Amino acid sequence: MFTGLVSSVGTLQERDGARFTIAAPFKRKTLEAGDSVACDGCCLTLIDVGKAKGGVVFTVEASNETLDRTTLRDWQAGRRINLERALALGDVLGGHLVTGHIDGRARIFSSAQDGDSVRFVLEAPDGLAAFIAPKGAVALDGVSLTVNAVEGDRFGVNIIPYTLSHTTWGDLKPGDLVNLEVDILARYVARLEQYEGRIT
């Protein structure tokens, strides 16, 4: 489980098929093989961890399901990646509950400066727009964000200067794809509505 508050930005060092090796400014003692780390919002298990200059280097492996639903299929060496270590019991929940299970890829439709912030409009993939509501929460590339407005399959978010400079959102532009995780509560409400009247 995660909160959608990115703790570091790592760099993809190497890719070998579905295996990704990432350098990150984490302390070596804070990570072990078997731990979970959200990489651009995708919960991945560390299969190897080593010490590196300025932090650690770790390797994760993605399933075909993950490659199909996320942006990982297009990742290449040099890519910057939002990272968040798993939430520990007792940690402050500063964002919202994020599972790291990506629902699909949203495409950035437009971006516009709004004072020091940037407003982005995104297009939700088929079947996911119904789970996105004004003033609700979404995780985009692992960042917990409040939805400003919704119109059809498009929705808007506002990225403040701190987030722009401490995550990869400062790199993104219209046309780019980002990993989308809808609010877990919206998933269960929709599922219960689907089975309304069938539960005894």
pLDDT digits (tens, 9 = 90+) for 170-180: 999 999 999 99
Which residue from 123, 127, 120 is spatially nearest to 143, judged by alpha carbons? Answer: 120
Q: Are 14 and 90 in contact (CB under 8 A)?
A: no
Residue 77 shares a structural domain with residue 149: no
Per residue in 98-111, pLDDT (tens digit) is 999 999 999 999 99
Residues 117 and 172 occupy one common structural domain: yes
pLDDT over threshold 60, residue 19: yes
Interval 43-98: pLDDT, tens: 999 999 999 888 999 999 999 999 999 999 999 999 999 999 997 766 667 778 89
The answer on 149 and 70 residing in a single domain is: no
Domain boundary among 85, 115, 131: 85
Residues 59 and 19: beta-carbon distance below 8 Å: yes
pLDDT tier, 156 (very low <50, low <70, confident <90, very high otherwise): very high
Residues 62, 110, single domain; the answer is no
CA distance 124 to 193: 21
Do 80 and 147 fall within a single domain? Answer: no
Both 111 and 184 in one domain: the answer is: yes
For residue 90, what pLDDT is reported?
63
Provide the pLDDT for residue 189. Answer: 80
Q: List Cα–Cα distances, 27 to 30, 70, 85, 111, 171, in angstroms.
A: 6, 27, 12, 35, 25
Q: What is the pLDDT of residue 89?
A: 66
Which structural domain, as residue segments, surrounds residue 158?
104-192
Residue 15 has pLDDT above 80, yes or no: yes
80 and 111: one domain? Answer: no
Q: Average the pLDDT over 4-20 and give the result.
A: 96
Residue 2 lies in a domain: no
Residues 173 and 136 in one domain: yes
**Residue where one domain finishes, among candidates 51, 85, 119:** 85
86: tokens are: 């798993």
* Residue 139 forms part of a structural domain: yes
Same domain membership, residue 175 and residue 127: yes
- Do both 79 and 15 map to the same domain? yes
Q: Indicate whether 99 belongs to any domain.
A: no
* Within-domain flag for 164: yes
CATH number, position 185: 2.40.30.20
What does the pLDDT look like over 122-139, one tens digit per residue?
A: 999 989 999 999 999 999
pLDDT band, residue 39 (cuts 50/70/90) = very high
Task: State whether 77 and 114 are in the same domain.
Answer: no
pLDDT value, residue 200: 47
> Given 50, 85, 120, which residue is the final one in a domain?
85
Task: For residue 156, tell me if it sits in a domain.
Answer: yes
Q: What is the pLDDT of residue 160?
A: 97
Instruction: Note whether 20 and 65 are same-domain residues.
Output: yes
The verdict on residue 200 lying in a domain is: no
- The count of domains in the chain is 2
Domain presence at residue 32: yes
Cα gap 115→80, rounded to integer Å: 26
Residue 94 DSSP one-character state: -
Mean pLDDT (the chain, rounded): 92
> Would you say residue 46 lies in a domain?
yes
